[in-house]
Amino acid sequence: MKHMKARQVADTAITDGREPTGAELDAIEREMPLIAAEVELLDAQIGLLDRAATALDERRIRRARNRVLAARRDLTNRTAGVPGGPAVA
């Protein structure tokens, strides 16, 4: 039986595991608009689990999806030059 070890992410400093590093907190702060947009979309989708969607619900879902896409675009554009950000092709 082979034992598998988790690989450490190169961008993350190894700490005692109790608190996030400053770099991790900065990354979370940069991603907060995307996280908030994804939570809003998830909330709209959860509301439709037990009932049929109305026209208003469909509009809410569509707008939430558009906010997620806009937040992803903005995050990608902001972090393109940041070390550890997405690679620019």
Question: Does residue 13 sit within a domain?
Answer: no
Burial profile 3-35: b = 16 or more Cβ within 10 angstroms, e = fewer: eeeeeeeeeeeeeeeeeeeeeeeebeeebebbe
What per-residue confidence (pLDDT) applies to 80?
A: 75
Say how many domains are in the chain. Answer: 1
Question: Does residue 11 sit within a domain?
Answer: no
Question: Does residue 41 sit within a domain?
Answer: yes
DSSP classification of residue 4 = -
What per-residue confidence (pLDDT) applies to 79?
A: 78
Question: Does residue 61 sit within a domain?
Answer: yes
Please give the span between the terminal C-alpha atoms of the chain, in angstroms, as a whole number.
Answer: 41
Question: Does residue 67 sit within a domain?
Answer: yes
Domain residue limits at 70: 22-79
Question: Does residue 57 sit within a domain?
Answer: yes
How many helices (H) and strands (E) the chain has is answered by 2, 0
What per-residue confidence (pLDDT) applies to 89?
A: 47
Per-residue pLDDT of the chain (89 residues; tens, 9 = 90+): 566 565 655 555 565 678 989 999 999 999 999 999 999 999 999 999 999 999 999 999 999 999 999 999 999 998 777 666 555 44
Tell me the one-letter amino acid at 81. Answer: G
What per-residue confidence (pLDDT) applies to 65?
A: 97
